[in-house]
Structure 1
Amino acid sequence: MIGTAGLKASEGFVRLGPSVVAVLGYCAAFYFLSLSLKQLPLGIAYAIWSGLGTVGSVLIGVLVWREALGPAHVAGIALILAGVVVLNVLAGNPGAS
């Protein structure tokens, strides 16, 4: 989320400080994702990483850049969160449905 916020603030990598934050943020994100892959299956780890990153980035957009958030956005975010929860709850029981 920090990398994505830096990417937005970099204005297309024109501003140095936010550009560095974006690159370092993404490097850290991939590093920590790689660590999680030692313990979690790829699909579960990536679903959590991308889902929570998406939700967090939307919240940063709303809170920092005052981006609009309508009912469809809220529904989409709720579905993403529900998917992450379902994957985590059912991860220990692959046969559950």
Structure 2
Amino acid sequence: MPFVLLAFAIAFEVTATLAMRGSDGFTRLGPSVLVVAGYLISFVFMAKALTSLNVGPVYAIWSALGTIGAFAGGVLLFDEPVRPLTIAGAVIIVVGVVVMNLGGGVSHG
């Protein structure tokens, strides 16, 4: 169950980040409200997940998958460029998360 909560936290974080791009510098009300609500909901889900998971690896998963999700969303929704160096960076992020999880695990106890 904590990983389901973490997945929801990631989904809301990515949604909020993409809405921030769509808010046009917080000049558009709808996307701006979505930014605030999305981050708030994301933090609530992450806090719930952290009641049974370790903070370091969980934050690494949350931020890494959020980064990759925002990258993919930017490409799909806003026609942002995909460059080989950008893809290499995404791979490095994933490798870093895997290494963190191998080093410490995610469950309490």
Q: Are positions 1:19 and 2:35 aligned together?
A: no
- Which of 18, 22, 26 is matched with 1:9 structurally? 22
Matching residue within 66, 69, 82 for 1:56? 69
Percent identity reads 45
Shift of residue 81, structure 1, vs aligned partner = 1.1
Aligned residue number for residue 70 of structure 1: 83
User: How many residues are paired up?
Assistant: 92
- Select the structure of larger CA radius of gyration: 1
| Mapping 1:24-43, distance limit 5 Å | 24-43=37-56
| Matched AA of 1:86 | V
TM-score between both structures, scaled by the size of structure 1: 0.88
Greater per-residue helix proportion: 2
Shift of 1:68: 0.6
Show the counterpart of 2:104: 91
Equivalent residue for 1:95? Answer: none
CA shift for structure 1 position 56: 0.4
Unaligned 5+ segments in structure 2 are: 1-13
**Secondary structure of the equivalent of 2:26?**
coil
Query: Once the 2 structures are TM-superposed, how far is the Cα of residue 79 of structure 1 from its aligned partner?
Result: 0.8
Cα RMSD (Å): 1.1
SS of residue in 1 equivalent to 2:52: coil
Structure 1 stretches lacking a partner, 5+ long: 93-97
